[in-house]
Structure formats: structure tokens, C-alpha cells
Amino acid sequence: MIAKSPLKSLYLLSIMAFMFVTIFDPADVVLGLKVPLFVLCFIAGGLVAFGRSGRIYIPMPLVIYTLLFVTIQLFSMFVYYVKNGADPYEGFAMFKAYLFIFFAIILVATDTDATKYLSIVLSLMAICIISLFIFLWIFPDFFVLMNALGATTEIFYADMRSYGGVFEFQQAYFVCSPMLVVSIAYYFLRFRESRNKDFWSFIFFLKLEILMSKERSMPS
């Protein structure tokens, strides 16, 4: 459904962009847009929430869980500095990831079903997994190049897998492939509720097959 308000459209677009960057640039080394888009989601979402009629409802259990989630990490950082405090320390870099839990609050405050948008992005990733597999199957000479590209960007990996030293396979998969379980659950629910079961069953079993295989492998 297309949002009527331009501000709501901007908010939904920022959510889609943030999810896309999170899935296709999980290490944030290619575009470096995770934090800017996260801030944009909060700004646009805050304006949407305050612009709605009625009071903003955020469940207290969600607030408590979110604060507890972040507090545990802060406490671990405090304990580290008390007991050790030596550098290098990756706690601050990892702490940024814990702050993404606040994304849940803005989604609840704006009554936004993020699962639908996340499933769309994950569907695109599923297509990319299959495309990468087919590409390496047709053009095996590009394996070394794709291996180096994947290792540099940390978006996908194309490498070799050995089974007992007898069989060796090329494999290709995306870093966020395990997240396909989210879209599988979402499309399974749509399959149960939709009258057009042929289409949704196709989507569901396609994603299930990718998840069960985990990596797309081919004999070398």
C-alpha cells in the first residue's frame, strides 16, 4: 500500500534503504551508510509518530528489554576497564551494533510492520544467491575474482569446501543468508492466509530450499 503522506513515504523509504544496506553491506565497508540511514529512520519516524493523532503508545516491557539489552553491554565494558583496560579493545565498535535495538521502539511507535519490508529485501538477496551460483557455474574462471571481491566487501563468499579430502566443491553464499528464515516464516503466513496459494507456495518453497542448502555448492 502506497503511503499517502510524503513524510510517511520518506519514512518507509528510509526503512527500506536501511534494511537494504544492512543486508547487502553488513560490515558497512562498501557504502558506510548504516549509521546515517539509522539516524534518518529515527528522525523521519519521530516526525511521523508525533504527527499522528492520539498519544504515542510504547509498551513498557519493550522499553525495559531495550534498556536492559544495552545496559548489559555497558556493564561488560565497565568490567573490562576495571579488570584489564588494555588496548586494543573492540567493545566500543561492537557497542554500535547494540544500539540498533532502539529501532524496535520507533517501529512500534509508528505502528510499522517491518517484516514485510525486510522480507522484500531478503527476497532480493535470495535471487542474488541463485544468480551468484549460476554465474560461477557458467563462468568458473571468475571464481578467484569473486572470492577476492567477497572477502574484501564481506557481503558474500565464494570459496572451496572439502568433504573428507575426497570431494571438493565450490560454494557461494551471502553473509546474511541465515536471515532467510525470517522471510520464510513471513511468506508461510501469507501462504496460509492468501487465496492465491500457488504463488505464495512458490515463494515459500524457493526460500526454504535456499535456507536448507545454506550454501550454494557445485563440484569443482
Torsions phi, psi for 189 (to 5 deg): -65, -40
Domain boundaries, given as residue ranges, for the chain? 6-111, 116-219
Angle, helices 91-98/60-83, rounded to nearest 10 degrees: 180
User: Phi/psi class of residue 196: alpha, beta or left (left: φ > 0; alpha: ψ in -120 to 50)?
Assistant: beta
What is the band of 16 on the pLDDT scale with cuts at 50, 70, 90?
Answer: very high
- Residue 217's beta-bridge partner residues? 171
Q: What is the pLDDT of residue 1?
A: 42
C-alpha cell at 129: 544467491
Lowest-pLDDT choice from 4-8, 26-30, 148-152, 202-206: 202-206
Separation between Cα atoms, residue 32 and residue 53, nearest integer Å: 36
Q: What is the pLDDT of residue 186?
A: 84
Tell me which DSSP letter residue 88 carries: P
The 10 Å Cβ neighbour count of residue 210 is: 24
Lowest-pLDDT choice from 8-17, 43-52, 111-120, 204-213: 204-213
Do 186 and 138 meet the contact criterion of CB atoms below 8 Å apart?
no
What is the band of 40 on the pLDDT scale with cuts at 50, 70, 90?
Answer: very high
- pLDDT tens-place string over residues 155-177: 988 877 777 667 777 777 888 88
Q: What is the pLDDT of residue 57?
A: 85
